[in-house]
Chain A
Amino acid sequence: MGFSFLLIHLAILVAIYGILAISLNLIMGVTGLFDMGHAAFFGIGAYATAILMTHFNVPWIIAITTSFALAGLVAWLTGIPTLKLRGDYFAVVTMAVGEIARSVFRNWMDVTRGPLGIPNIPPAEFLGVTFTPGIPFLGLSFVLLALMLFLSQRLIFSPFGRILKGIRDDEGAGVEALGKDSYRHKMRVFVIGSGMAGLAGSLFATYIGYIDPSTFTLWLTNFILLIIILGGKGNSIGAVIATALFVFLREGVRFLGLPTSIAAPLQQWIFGLLLILVMLFAPRGLVPERTDRWGPPSAPTPGPSV
């Protein structure tokens, strides 16, 4: 009973962080935008849902949609001045956005209750079903994970996705020469990816039932970044697999029965070692980015020859 409950808990964390990894993969892995403030959008989604559901009794479906939209809106506002800048400036500014969001969560006492956090967030409820922690929430989170995976695959393997990869490969000049507006497409993917992060945050809030600012730190962004590098930059399936690996490893170490003073650094050691091994033996990640393939070329069409 206890063990299966733990497995379900871990699987749910894989789904939530998996969505977060898929979303950062779109922004960073596919498009090459070094977004160091991704945790902020996760946090915005979590707080939006928590506040709407506890203060205003808003139905879950509206809360999670708002989380998606609000995170996307903040991304849009952040993107206006920054997405025209070169990559390194974007990294610095998004890192600042992450810190600003965190200090808002901590200090806007009237709304976020600061370090006290927001307790008693009601579980997700939709069409008469209450998604309590356990099997029901597991189902919900995996449906959403599958949906996000599907959406990101559709986006990556499309003309839109090819423009994103083109932007990554040479900072935008190449796609501009082909008549594509790089700023516009960077904005689109930044808004979509951040919105997805907001959705993951909303799920997190209704699952745990309690949020406080300590979750939404640069460490979380780094953690997701590691996952993407490990999984294979640009590959959303790899991102989910690496998320599972990380979550299970982290919790596995916890169950070795070691004292905390050893277990905590041991986790970091294992992650560090894993990353070095991947860099050495699989530089493209565990599941390297896949290229789009077209059917075997048929016979050349008769036409003008050189």
Chain B
Amino acid sequence: MAFLRTEALTKKFEGLCAVDHVTFEVPRGIILGLIGPNGSGKTTLFNLITGFSQITEGQVYFEDQPIGGLPAHTIAELGVARTFQLVRVFQSMTVMENMMLGYKGHVGEAPWKAIRRGQEYVQHDATALAKAYELLDVVGLRHAANERAENLPYAEQKMVEIARTMMGDPGLLMLDEPASGVAPALVNGLLEYIRLLRDQRGKTIVVIEHDMRVIMNLCDRIVALDHGAKICEGSPAEVSRDPNVIEAYLGGG
């Protein structure tokens, strides 16, 4: 049984087929890499799965429930969390405010409960705060809790973004180029963290990545896209030998 499954997922932009009948499965508890040259439709595929872009054709199943066409926030609520290629940490807010925002189901999201601040509110606040500190400890950013996100180095903002998605206890984590823009020396720590999420927290993770070395030593399974279509699928070793993939990356003319 697949945790996430797409069925002939298609996105057309006025004639251009950005994602072309892509069918793939993500079994529970693995890290799946999504690779392909620029413009091959990786991010569009992410947007379709997470509801940030309208599906032209096809369907997405999360835990065997069809989720295609649902609004983005509903899909996130169901347990599909994502990050963005360019970091989307809220710049004017502190690290802790960002973390607290990631918490799901706080009664204080309703204005009247935010004003009243009853017992339930206080409880939710305490739970969220404890969880946030715990997650910040894992990435070593507890000391930066009250720092505005804009003052953090880019790599740390990326860490905060991933840790923030963890506040909502997602079943599935979709990371769009987590290592891009991160200094090479810091990439290993980031990969370590992603592995830890799989091994210790049992998360299922889909990663878009350009850097082949990163993808090869991080992923359990790889799906390769080119011109919107799936050209290959398999273990890292299999995919790196695949003639279609080599052709797509090195460009045959």
Contact = CB atoms under 8 A, between A and B. Distances in A.
B108 interface: yes
Contact of A177 (B81, B109, B110): B81
A303 interface: yes
A180 B76 CA distance: 8
Given A297-B143, A301-B133, A306-B193, A173 B52 contact: yes
Interface of A: 151, 154-155, 158-163, 165-166, 168-170, 173-182, 185, 188-189, 192, 234, 289, 291-294, 297, 300-301, 303-306
Nearest first, the 6 closest Cβ-Cβ pairs linking A and B are A158-B114, A179-B76, A159-B108, A179-B77, A176-B72, A169-B90
Contacts of A289: 92
Contact of A159 (B94, B106, B200): B106
Contacts, number: 136
Contacts of B1: none
Contacts of A294: 96, 129, 145-146
A178 B71 contact: no
A306 B93 contact: no
A166 B98 CA distance: 8
A43 B118 CA distance: 35
Interface of B, secondary structure class, is helix
Contact of A178 (B76, B91, B111, B115): B76
A163 B101 contact: yes
A155 B192 contact: no
A158 to B, nearest CB: 4
22 contacts: A159-B100, A159-B108, A160-B108, A161-B114, A162-B93, A163-B109, A165-B90, A165-B97, A166-B101, A168-B92, A174-B90, A177-B83, A178-B101, A179-B74, A179-B77, A179-B104, A188-B111, A294-B145, A304-B200, A306-B138, A306-B189, A306-B193
Tell me which of A163, A169, A177, A291 has the highest count of chain B C-beta atoms within 10 A of its own C-beta. Answer: A177
